[in-house]
Amino acid sequence: MMKINIEKCIGCGQCVKDCFPKDIELIEGKAKINNIACIKCGHCIAVCPKDAVTTDEYDMNDVKSYVKEEFDIDGDNLLNFIKFRRTVRQFKNREVEEEKLLKIIEAGRFTQTGSNMQDVSYIVVRKEIQKLKALALETLKQTGEQMLAAPASEITAVTKRYAGMWIKMYEDYLEKPSVNDRLFFNAPAVIIVTANSDINGGLASSNMELLANALGLGTFFSGFFIRAAQNNEKIKEFLGIQEGKHMVSCMVIGYPDVTYLRTVPRKSADINWK
């Protein structure tokens, strides 16, 4: 429940103006939250000039007052940071500290969600990453074999490419697991992001990647793993996917064993101004 400390409230109406579901009203010069249409977004907490709003829904220790030096980021620097981001597939033989993994998840936790659903969950795999890798590679191999077993008229060049790649990845891995890992590339940790909404999970994943880079880590999103996991109940059971949620991304994380010196070019933006 959202609460107003009427001793602190000065009736300025800022919370009333900023409440999207219109669940706050002014009564006799004091704000009153009805807690009927409220989606617990916390805008009233953030906008109140007298810090008069609290909630028992969440931990109020999460709330931090704005301090320019601690919060502001130069726009040009941020854009350059995004441009300099690279997908990393070369990792050092070094564990990622739990503190950093928790900070990455924190970036996901504070990412916006539609209707304040906060439906994103995180599965961190470290100790059992080899088991997860083996399950996924075997599934990709089986998927590739099934694709190549289809009628010749249904097998495209793209089908052959990926099917052959997945089979070879599995065979090479069996030959020398410590070297031939082309799924996780011997990274020490993965975070599986699950959600009810793909958009919510995707937005969280993007912010998590940016923070990982800021922490000196390298990342890439493994679409191959998601493909394998979607077709394998053993993987879903191993991960403990919550009912009603599905996998949105698999974020592979480690310390990069490669140094990039510049940004890269991209296509021009496709913009339709109206």
Given pLDDT bands bounded at 50, 70 and 90, which one contains residue 192? Answer: very high
- The confidence score (pLDDT) of residue 80 equals 98
**At 34, is the pLDDT very low, low, confident or very high (cuts 50, 70, 90)?**
very high
Q: Give the model's pLDDT for residue 178.
A: 87
For residues 231 and 63, what is the distance between their CA atoms, to the nearest angstrom? 41
Task: List pLDDT tens digits, range 72-109.
Answer: 999 999 999 999 999 999 999 999 999 999 999 999 99
R_g over Cα of the chain: 24
pLDDT digits (tens, 9 = 90+) for 153-163: 899 999 999 99
Region 152-176: what's the mean pLDDT?
A: 95
Distance between CA atoms of 20 and 10, rounded to whole angstroms? 21
List, edge to edge, every strand of the sheet that includes 189-195. Answer: 121-125, 189-195, 246-254, 218-221
Which token pair is 90? 């070369």
**Which residue range is the domain that position 131 belongs to?**
82-274
CA distance 227 to 55: 41
pTM: 0.94
Q: Copy the structure tokens of residue 43.
A: 């805008």
Same domain, 174 and 240: yes
Q: How many Cβ atoms from other residues are within 10 Å of residue 175's Cβ?
A: 9
Q: Provide, rounded to the nearest whole percent, the portion of the chain with pLDDT above 70.
A: 100
Q: Clarify whether residues 31 and 130 are in a common domain.
A: no
pLDDT tens digits for range 251-272? 999 999 999 999 999 999 999 9
CATH number at residue 156: 3.40.109.10
Query: Does any domain span residue 71?
Result: no
- Residue 126 has a pLDDT of 97
Could you give the 3-state DSSP secondary structure of residue 123? strand
Q: Is 273 found in the same domain as 219?
A: yes
**Is residue 86 located within the same domain as residue 208?**
yes
No. of helices (H) and no. of strands (E), the chain: 10, 8
Number of domains forming the structure of the chain: 2
- Mean predicted confidence (pLDDT) in 225-230: 95
Task: Please give the mean pLDDT across all residues of the chain.
Answer: 96
